[in-house]
Structure 1
Amino acid sequence: MAENIDKALQRSRRNLPHWQAGGRTYFVTWNCIAGESLRVQERAIVVEAATKFHGDRYNMFALVVMPDHVHMLIQPLEKSPKLWWHLGRLLGGMKGASARKINASRGRNGALWQEESFDRLLREGEFEDKWNYIRLNPVRAGLVGKPDDYDALWIRSTADGWMQPDL
């Protein structure tokens, strides 16, 4: 896995294909391994891990931690001129940090998350749809009546409302 990503579109593959290009925004999903579910306090751990480097290594635009999966809109930032943070490394850090803390609270070791994540480079016109999908996911799942009532929803906003990146 390359440590740094430049502006050119790059492709890698494990079981799923992964495309990355510097300065782009991604819709990302990752899942718990079969049979695992996150309690309220564990979802807060994931939110903390996923937003820890917001504004430093990446811009996070929206995040929801559901009982068995996570969705986010994320844009890796420039690490040095014309080189961006690698999405896989960023996600690995989030998943690893949250799994270690959750496993410690459960008094156990082992996998919590599926190894791979699904990531999609956003195209022009897709940001708002994905942002709404993330925001409404807890409502559509029947967990709350309105998005703001969900305990593990994080939305980056400005005084004028939600913030959209340049695609």
Structure 2
Amino acid sequence: MDDPIDKMPDVDSELLIGLVEAASRRFHPLHGDEIGFFHPSESIAYLDGNLPHWRQDGVTYFVTYRTADSIPQEKLRLWLAERDVWLRENPEPHSPKQKKEYWKLFPKRMHDWLDAGYGECLLKDAGLRQIVVDGLLHFAGNRYLFKEWVVMPNHVHGIVTPMGEHQLSGILHSWKSFTAKEINKRLGRQGSFWHKESFDHIVRSAESLERIGAYIAANPDGLPMGSYSLSADAQMRRDAASTVDEASSLVSWLPTEEQSDK
């Protein structure tokens, strides 16, 4: 039987390895004064609601907001009841193990439900989705920094850094209020388009920022082109990841020094 390595096209191993490394460096997340991470020693505010909302000056947030019909009410009621029980049984401060368990049981599960595509998924329509994109970018660079985001068929993810005196709550309200009115006008409807509450999380470190950026870029995996919108920075990250995967698959077929000597 032929050795698979013998069937591999002629390649320069150093060139391929260089390609992997270059692709992995192609995208760099925001740096310097643009990004602020959670400050344990600084004061922090808590806003009441069904979801936890922590606020701190000068930080960057990972935000998610969704259409009103994106999670079935029975699932949401069960989620809230289970979360209340978990919080009663696990008072703060939480250990790393408890934080990991909480993320898996609650934020991650909600994100999984969003990706399952419940509801009408009206933002599959390019025209309606563009209204959302225009709203996101209208004050970008003026009231907030907003370079990595994705508009999915029934929700939005983004990494946002409020600027100056602008606060996250006001930014989110502006996005949702303007776009809901415009979309309802386009559809000839009334009522809530977005769910009232949003999910937001203070980015804690450069490593956390990198993981969130990778999550945003990969969120459309499996969706047809034209059913979502990615920011230019998120698309760059997605393209870089694709190049790394392709180049890595070639590098994995390269013979080791030991095999080459045989």
Q: Which residue of 2 aligns with 1:29?
A: 64
Which runs of structure 2 are paired with 1:1-167 in the superposition (5 Å)?
A: 8-34=43-69, 35-37=119-121, 38=123, 39-79=125-165, 85-124=166-205, 125-139=207-221, 142-144=222-224, 151-156=228-233
Question: 1:156 Cα shift?
Answer: 4.2
SS of 1:102's equivalent in the other structure is helix
8 Å Cα contact 1:47-1:63 kept in structure 2: no
Q: Which residue of 1 aligns with 2:260?
A: none
Percent identity between matched residues is 37
Amino acid across the alignment from 2:126: V
Unaligned runs of 5+ in 2: 1-41, 70-118, 238-262
Q: Which residue of 2 aligns with 1:4?
A: none
8 Å Cα contact 2:151-2:157 kept in structure 1: yes
Q: Structure 1 runs of 4+ off > 4 angstroms?
A: none
CA distance in structure 2 between the aligned counterparts of 1:156 and 1:88, rounded to whole angstroms: 24
CA distance in structure 2 between the aligned counterparts of 1:62 and 1:52, rounded to whole angstroms: 15
TM-score where L is the length of structure 2:
0.51
SS of 1:29's equivalent in the other structure is strand
Q: Which residue of 2 aligns with 1:165?
A: none
Q: Which residue of 2 aligns with 1:82?
A: none
Question: 1:92 Cα shift?
Answer: 0.7
Q: CA RMSD in A?
A: 1.9
8 Å Cα contact 1:23-1:76 kept in structure 2: yes
**Structure with the largest fraction of strand:** 1
- Measured against aligned partners, the alpha-carbon deviations of 1:18-70 in whole angstroms (never above 9, x if no partner) come to 11111101110111111342222111110110111111110002111100111
Amino acid across the alignment from 2:230: L
CA distance in structure 2 between the aligned counterparts of 1:36 and 1:88, rounded to whole angstroms: 26
- Measured against aligned partners, the alpha-carbon deviations of 1:63-88 in whole angstroms (never above 9, x if no partner) come to 11100111000000112xxxxx1211
TM-score where L is the length of structure 1:
0.79
- Measured against aligned partners, the alpha-carbon deviations of 1:1-29 in whole angstroms (never above 9, x if no partner) come to xxxxxx73211111111111111011101
Question: 1:150 Cα shift?
Answer: 6.5
